[in-house]
């Protein structure tokens, strides 16, 4: 049994590697050494980093910027632990990453954005690029400078040609997607007045929901993140003028006031949210949700009913944003997290579809004003195009005990 499972696992890894080789292309890392003098550094003081694949042909003046995900750290202890990983130190990041999905340079796999300048900004601050504390923690030697990183890399891109942008998108995955929402209007303000600028959130619509035990853990967690990183001054004032800063980490309290067009790609049963907001370890001490969180097919009838309730809360938060002629959304019923950066979910013959439309087509149509696209999927398990493979390549590989 163990041998057979190992063989299946190895076959899956080989298949994945083959797909990466055929559908993705390698892009080397760039360390922004000049940012260090500005205090724009990772948690451990190392320089910020990004991967930049230059545009070509008709796309030379178009810019797609993706902010990497990876959850958050909410106190001195958790932030210190991240300095020993790629999520807190550029010294520990891989030197090359594979660009695929919305970052692909092939028209077949990414017809609307393949020839743009495509950039992936690495995530190493733990605050969704919002932190800015001048003093370095004297005990841990940890820097809280996420907002400075965002400013420094944007200055670098403007100098590299983004100041002449004709089209631009600020996007992200997970915590990076939340950052794209929080920085959306600020990003637009950096670009020429005549540029078409929009923002894309992939798996970043985290909702303020209670756990299965009835505790408001994510609300307290976000409050701790904001306090630890000194994020309040970098959150949208349209929200902080009305609510406590910690509540302004929730898109449901921010997105309505964003003036720049925004597109939301999200699973109504977002696998990260189910694992870490609805049923985190602290709310499930006996581990009764462990198998369900790993594989939705292993959920009991009662657990599925609870997840249907979470979907209802998610849609209530989404509908609370009110109508918008410039906002788009693609809310499917897959058990997934981050779907634009993986070719399998972005655009392939077997990709998920909503209203007979792939995510790639929906986003492209919305950006170029061909169709604004605002669709919500039917409840699980009616959508047979979902693979429910729990895609989380851009986020932390382990659950967080919020």
Catalytic residues: 174, 270, 337
The confidence score (pLDDT) of residue 1 equals 43
231/81 Cα distance (integer angstroms) = 20
Note whether residue 3 is domain-resident: no
The confidence score (pLDDT) of residue 394 equals 40
DSSP state of 136: P
Give me the phi and psi of 280, to 5 degrees please.
-70, 165
Note whether residue 392 is domain-resident: no
Note whether residue 368 is domain-resident: yes
The confidence score (pLDDT) of residue 393 equals 40
Note whether residue 256 is domain-resident: yes
Please provide the DSSP assignment of 8-70 as one string.
Answer: HHHHHHHHHHHHHHHH-EEEEEEE-GGGGGGT---TTSPPPEEEEE---GGGTTEEEEEE---
CB-based contacts of 129, cutoff 8 Å, min separation 6: 67, 123, 146, 147, 149, 150, 176, 179, 182, 183
402 residues of the chain, pLDDT tens digit each:
444 445 545 554 444 444 444 579 999 999 999 999 999 999 999 999 999 999 999 999 999 999 999 999 999 999 999 999 999 999 999 999 999 999 999 999 999 999 999 999 999 999 999 999 999 999 999 999 999 999 999 999 999 999 999 999 999 999 999 999 999 999 999 999 999 999 999 999 999 999 999 999 999 999 999 999 999 999 999 999 999 999 999 999 999 999 999 999 999 999 999 999 999 999 999 999 999 999 999 999 999 999 999 999 999 999 999 999 999 999 999 999 999 999 999 999 999 999 999 999 999 999 999 999 999 999 999 999 997 654 444 444 333 444
Q: From 395, 392, 340, 334, select the one nearest 363 (Cα to Cα).
A: 340
Note whether residue 12 is domain-resident: no
Please provide the DSSP assignment of 299-343 as one string.
Answer: --HHHHHHHHHHHHHHHHHHHTT---SS-EEEEE--S-S--SSSH
**Segments in 160-229 forming alpha helices (H):** 175-182, 184-190, 217-229
Torsion angle of the four alpha carbons 29, 33, 34, 39, in this order, in degrees rounded to the nearest 10: 110
Note whether residue 398 is domain-resident: no
The confidence score (pLDDT) of residue 10 equals 53
| Cis peptide bond upstream of 381, omega within 30 | yes
The confidence score (pLDDT) of residue 389 equals 54
Q: What CATH number is associated with residue 112?
A: 3.40.50.1820
Q: Is the pTM of this model over 0.95?
A: no
| Residues in the chain, total | 402
CB atoms within 10 A of CB 378: 11
CB-based contacts of 17, cutoff 8 Å, min separation 6: none
Looking only at the bridges linking them, the beta strands covering 62-67 and 117-121 are: parallel
Could you tell me the two tokens for 367? 């950006």
Task: Please say whether the beta carbons of 116 and 64 come within 8 A.
Answer: yes
CB atoms within 10 A of CB 134: 9
Which range of residues forms the domain containing residue 319? 24-376
Number of domains in the chain: 1
Q: From 226, 222, 264, 85, select the one nearest 147 (Cα to Cα).
A: 226
Note whether residue 9 is domain-resident: no
Which helix or strand (DSSP H or E) is residue 263 part of?
strand 262-267
Note whether residue 140 is domain-resident: yes
């Amino acid at each position: 049994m163990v041998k057979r499972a190992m063989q299946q696992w190895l076959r899956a890894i080989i298949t994945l590697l083959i797909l990466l080789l055929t559908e993705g292309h390698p892009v080397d890392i760039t360390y922004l050494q000049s940012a260090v003098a500005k205090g724009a550094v990772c948690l451990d003081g190392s320089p910020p980093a990004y991967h930049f694949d230059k545009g070509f042909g008709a796309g030379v003046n178009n810019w797609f910027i993706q902010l990497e995900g990876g959850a958050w750290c909410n106190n001195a202890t958790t932030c210190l632990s991240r300095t020993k990983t790629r999520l807190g130190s550029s010294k520990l990041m891989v030197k090359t990453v594979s660009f695929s999905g919305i970052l692909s340079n092939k028209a077949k796999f990414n017809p609307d954005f393949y020839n743009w300048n495509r950039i992936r900004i690495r995530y190493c601050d733990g605050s969704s690029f919002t932190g800015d504390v001048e003093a370095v923690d004297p005990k841990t030697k940890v820097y809280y400078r996420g907002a400075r990183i965002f400013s420094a890399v944007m200055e670098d891109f403007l100098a590299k040609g983004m100041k002449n942008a004709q089209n631009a998108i600020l996007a992200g995955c997970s915590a990076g997607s939340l950052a794209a929402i929080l920085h959306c209007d600020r990003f637009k303000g950096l670009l020429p007045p005549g540029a078409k600028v929009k923002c894309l959130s992939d798996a970043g619509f985290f909702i303020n929901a209670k756990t299965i035990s009835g505790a408001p853990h994510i609300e307290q967690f976000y409050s701790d993140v904001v306090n630890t990183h000194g994020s309040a001054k970098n959150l949208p004032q349209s929200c902080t003028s009305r609510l406590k800063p910690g509540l302004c980490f929730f898109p449901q309290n921010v997105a309505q006031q964003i003036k720049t067009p925004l597109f939301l790609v999200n699973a109504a049963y977002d696998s990260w949210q189910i694992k870490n907001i609805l049923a985190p370890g602290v709310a499930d001490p006996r581990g009764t949700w462990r198998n369900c969180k790993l594989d939705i097919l292993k959920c009991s009838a009662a657990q599925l009913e609870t997840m249907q309730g979470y979907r209802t809360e998610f849609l209530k938060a989404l509908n609370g944003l009110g109508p918008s002629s410039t906002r788009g959304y693609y809310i499917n019923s897959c058990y997934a997290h981050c779907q634009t950066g993986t070719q399998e979910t972005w655009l392939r013959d077997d990709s998920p579809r909503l209203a007979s439309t792939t995510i790639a087509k929906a986003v492209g149509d919305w950006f170029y004003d061909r169709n604004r696209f605002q669709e919500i999927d039917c409840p699980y398990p009616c959508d047979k195009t979902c693979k429910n493979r729990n895609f989380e390549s851009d986020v932390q590989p382990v659950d967080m005990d919020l």
